[in-house]
Amino acid sequence: MDTTILGRTGLMVSVMGLGCGGPSRLGQSYERPEAESIRVVECALDLGVNVIDTAEAYRTEEIVGKGIRGVRREDVILSTKKSIMARGEGPASPEALRKGLEESLRRLDTDYVDVYHFHAVHPDQYDYVRNVLVPEAMRLRDEGKLRFIGVTEYFEKDQRHEMLDRALGDDCWDVFMVGFNILNQSAREAVFARAIEQNIGILDMFAVRRAFSRPERLKEILRDLIEAGQVDSADLDMENPLGFVVESGAAESLSEAAYRFCRHEPGMHVVLSGTGSLEHLEENARALNQPPLPEKVHHRLREIFRKADLVTGS
């Protein structure tokens, strides 16, 4: 597995990260036996993936803890997250942040996490997170319970990256988790250009969602973008949208192309891939270890979706 440096953290990371949330949650969303989910983690490590991303909200931290038990702790980059709003309660307090991290450490069976994110922060929550919770995260960092501080956007509601645009004005962030894919490339200008200047580590989520594996869902999304004036219908054959990617021989599947498109974006460090299937895990690892798409295909995808910023690909 190819590796790179995760921005200012200096961490040597695999370009593929195992995402333990998303629709699958390591297969737990489909009621797979825990042992199968643990095996997905173990297999990812065997493939050379060293970034494992989870969160208290995913309910997969214990599985990750069991999956990494057989490797040296320093050989794994653990990323987890704290939810800002508890269900039925107000925003997390500094005390709740501390307790949440301690509980995550217990579930992960470790003394520290490498990256601790504030999870799915809305634009209107940013000031509270920055002014009230970040100082406590810094204290936890000084105590050795976390190494680097990150923030993840709420991409489903913030497709234009308003929260991260504000976060780029502060110097407390080591890592961003960003929504970026073929259908919504707006982070290129809104986030990546400045993140490169500030040497912020970037983890990509939503590289592949339903649109890339379900043709009818892709057509539905494209119709919405055409209606919104963000995609020109003349650029697409709606009978086989994006069929030119595979027909040209650029990739064996649209999902493979989607991973490669994100993997080689300037400023990108780690592309997260979530699955409960060992077969899909291996396919995704092969895709993310391949070279960039041919320039002609890459350019065409950029041109078609250059104005699109209303969808996530889900």
Active site amino acids: 58
- E strands, 186-257, in order: 201-205
DSSP string over 111-163: S-EEEEEEEEE-GGGHHHIIIIIHHHHHHHHHTTSEEEEEEEE-TTT-TT-HH
**Residue 82: other Cβ atoms inside 10 A:** 23
Six token digits for residue 81: 């997250």
Q: CB–CB of 183/307 below 8 Å?
A: no
* 6-15 as b/e: b if 16+ CB within 10 A: bbebebebbb
Backbone phi, psi, residue 112, to 5°:
-155, 160
Q: Report which secondary-structure segment, H or E, holds 288.
A: helix 278-288
Report the largest interatomic distance among the alpha carbons of the chain, rounded to a whole angstrom: 57
CA–CA distance, 277 with 167 (Å, rounded to integer): 35
